[in-house]
Structure 1
Amino acid sequence: MSSLNAIAASGLSAARMRLDASAGNVANMNTPGYRAQRVVQQAAPEGGVDASVQRANAEGVSLEQEVVDQLAAKQDFMANVQTLRTADAVMGALLDVQA
């Protein structure tokens, strides 16, 4: 089982990948023949998330979908930062108990 910090770090990394892919999609939306990048995530067996970038099957980029992806990535960042804060608070409380 991974630590909370490692789990949150994998989530932060996946969110960064989503933002990077979305930024590339928006930058290339007017490029003929461009196929959007999508980040596929799945739960890692040891905890956290595994993420990989894949190309969409069809050409074109939906600006609306990119805005949704960026907002979702923002929420992912916020959730994982909260996980880090909670882990820090728990560790602090455990150290206080031990002292």
Structure 2
Amino acid sequence: MNTISSIALSGVHAASTRMDVAAHNIANAQTPGFQRQVVHQQSQETEGVMTTVGKSDEVGPDLAADLVAQMEASYSYKANLRTIQTQEQMVGSILDIKA
């Protein structure tokens, strides 16, 4: 897999992780003593982004942050999928020209 698609694919996975964590936090917001999960992202030089899931330092819900995180993850997911689609179209065009 080439660099463009692998970077975009790592972005898709990161967005999915952020969406899953936000959904988990929202679903458990009413649980007494619930400690939210947080996603940590770190860019990799040629490999896109690496994500890890950890616990928040504070106990209790933050529904506004979780809803914003879901919206951000949705936009990021769509943008990365569009990048993969564009890269595939470009490769197809190059192959058509060469053929």
**Same topology, TM > 0.5:** yes
Q: CA deviation at 1:47?
A: 2.8
Structure 2 residues not aligned, in runs of 5+ = none
Q: What is the number of residues matched between the two proteins?
A: 98
Give the TM-score taking structure 1 as reference length. Answer: 0.93
Deviating beyond 3 angstroms after TM superposition, the runs of 4 or more aligned structure 1 residues are none
**1:3 aligned to 2:30?**
no
Report the equivalent of 2:68: 68
Map 1:39-54 to 2 at 5 A. 39-54=39-54
Report the equivalent of 1:37: 37
Structure 1 residues not aligned, in runs of 5+ = none
**1:84 aligned to 2:84?**
yes
Identity %: 36
Larger proportion of strand? 2
Q: CA deviation at 1:35?
A: 1.1
Quick check: 2:34–2:59 contact (8 Å CA) kept in 1? yes
Query: One-letter code of the match for 2:33?
Result: G
RMSD, aligned CA: 1.1
